[in-house]
A and B are shown apart, each in its own frame.
Chain A
Amino acid sequence: MTATTTTQTPLANEPSPARRLLLTPTAGPLAALVLACVFFSFSTDQFLSGGNFSLIIQQVMVVGTLAIGQTLIILTAGIDLSNGAVMAFGGIVMAKLAVDSGLPPLLAITAGLAVCAGFGLINGLLVTRISLPPFIVTLGMLNVVFALTHIYSQDQTVTGLPAPLTFLGQTFSIGDTAVTYGSVLMIGLFLFFAYLLSQTAWGRHVYALGNSPEVARLTGIRTARLTVGVYTLAGLVYGMAALLLVSRTGVGDPQAGQTDNLDSITAVVLGGTSLFGGRGLVIGSLIGALIVGVFRNGLQLMGVPSIYQTLITGILVILAVTVDQLSRRRTR
């Protein structure tokens, strides 16, 4: 810590690292998460334990992973309403190909990932080539994919999955805490995309595109290609969420993910990312997802009916968006 501050003599007006942390849009959500944890630790005996935290992470791994793709798209000032449906379809494809068609499990998983990336590609092409608003494109795609899921699965839950499809739902032990492999994958994905967005030219282009497509284009960024890339990559991430979903539930479920589109947007917004694009951190979405997970778990341990969790989440979302709007007005 000291080494970095002394070697990089900061410019006079550049904030110190500690202060810079406080200035990120993620600081507020992080404070909220910590406060919620403190509150529940004092309210119920069972909350503060490694096993319970591991459980919470496991419970948010699907929506958390969806939120990564959602963050990418929201950073470009888009939105994706179809991600839960795309994930459900990807999960059914993996489960049915492996069980009913007898494909090798790894091939079935690859096919599921490819299908999800394919839907992302279609979304991206519709948004760029025909200049349709992302809201409308993905609303339409939500219905298309929902229907395809039910047609392809014939509304039957697929059971008896081979081991590779459920591997990510298995656990390993750190001390006496059981940790799900899927949780590790989700956290790994967050770190990977945090790196991609903050340390690569591609990442900076995504922010530039979200801030102003026109300026981005004039600086030589191929915005249409970038947008298609973002939607396709997001689709691939939804495919990974599908694998996590299948391994978590142990079945291919055609009913899955019906509210996960809004849940992933909730996580992104709670994480401090602006719906207007160009501002926010992907790690914030992990924090947003965890806030929802911590409230759900903590309230359940306290014996509070789950409808209050919905109430609190709603209040927090409105507050988060209000804060974003107010701080935008100030910086303008």
Chain B
Amino acid sequence: MSPRLRTIGVLAASVAFAATTLTGCGGSGESASTGASTSAAVKVGLITKTETNPFFVKMKEGAESAAKQYGAELLTAAGKFDGDNAGQITAIENMVAAGVKGILITPSDSKAIVPAIQKARSAGVLVIALDSPTEPQEATDALFATDNFKAGELIGRYAKAAMAGKPAKIATLDLAPGVAVGQLRHDGFLKGFGVAEGDPSIVCSQDTGGDQAKGQTAMENCLQKAPDINVVYTINEPAALGAYTALKAKGREKEVLIVSVDGGCTGTKAVQSGQIAATSQQYPLKMAESGVKAVVDYAKGGAKTSGYTDTGVTLITDKPATGVEAKDTAFGLANCWG
């Protein structure tokens, strides 16, 4: 047998192996989402930014349980990295080819995804944005999301009240330039705190990409620039924990107030242990559940859902400040994600 013929043999065997592995996985995956392979089941697509972020994992869980409840079949896909627009376009095309009635999507790039969404909609597919809006927002039929401005505002008001009149030196650890979610939370925080952009009390602003390691680096750099920082706004809890690590290295973790947004289980535990003072908790499970329900309703002859649905946000802290409504971490841990 020549080496080349052997090559063919090996590759053929590998594909056969891959195929068997997949039928195994596919089988269990389908039974998890559909229960039965009824040919009449409504197909619902869920496209997240990435496959691995706990926020999207929870979202997928919510969609799966809702799909089971309503007898729908759930197809899932994700970009390879946060910002992978081409990957999301490919997923939309494949889902339309698979015959979905509706697509739930957390757009990685709010503008760049719009042409692909328009194509899907003109093919009669209901498209709902989850978590973050497209630009323009009307590019999708509907938006189910956290009010990110309000999420920022809640922790801003909390931080203002908790400072009780002490002069503030603020660091903001932001997401990335040009991303709506990050901008809304940032602006909401400033409004809640009652300062304008460019106010001298904001001594440092850095992008973290919502990443813990980058959050730590950013905080270290901010402390170099302004060692007397006493309020830290963070885009999410990983960035907050990174900031905490940097502050602890300087022995300043007890004197600095860290506030954040997300309400993930790790983050909520950090609120419980006092590393983070307060966080605005959001509800990815609910976004996905409402999305699946809307698609199933539409498939059964109901109207297309439209407009913006606020899926709610709750301030979680164990050190409530006067005049700011909040729930404790027991509530937070019962409702956290990830």
Contact = CB atoms under 8 A, between A and B. Distances in A.
A35 B86 contact: no
A18 interface: no
A30 to B, nearest CB: 9
Question: Chain A: interface secondary structure?
Answer: helix
Nearest to B108: A255
A307 B22 CA distance: 11
Given A22-B8, A23-B4, A27-B8, A32 B93 contact: no
Given A46-B97, A248-B89, A249-B89, A300 B10 contact: no
B226 interface: no
B90 A296 contact: yes
Contacts of B23: 43
Interface string B40-67: 0000000000010000000000000000
Interface in A47-85: 51-52, 55, 58-59, 62
A31 B8 contact: yes
Contacts of B115: 249-251
A296 to B, nearest CB: 7
Instruction: Give the interface residue-count category, chain B.
Output: 35 or more
B85 A308 contact: no
B18 A253 contact: no
Contacts of A31: 8, 11-12
Question: Chain B: interface secondary structure?
Answer: helix
B109 A253 contact: yes
Contact of A59 (B6, B10, B90): B90
A331 B7 CA distance: 13
Contacts of A29: 11
B136 to A, nearest CB: 11
A95 B90 CA distance: 21
Interface in B187-236: none
A306 B60 CA distance: 13
Contacts of B19: 35-36, 39
Contacts of B97: 46, 51-52, 55, 297, 300-301
A284 B115 CA distance: 32
Given A35-B12, A306-B78, A296 B94 contact: yes
Interface of A: 22-25, 27-29, 31-32, 35-36, 39, 43-44, 46, 51-52, 55, 58-59, 62, 154-157, 159, 245, 248-251, 253, 255-259, 272, 296-297, 299-308, 312, 315-316, 319-320, 322-323, 326-327, 330-331
12 contacts: A28-B7, A31-B11, A35-B16, A39-B19, A155-B177, A251-B115, A301-B94, A303-B33, A304-B22, A305-B76, A307-B51, A315-B17
Across the A-B interface, the 4 shortest Cβ-Cβ residue pairs: A255-B83, A327-B3, A250-B115, A300-B94
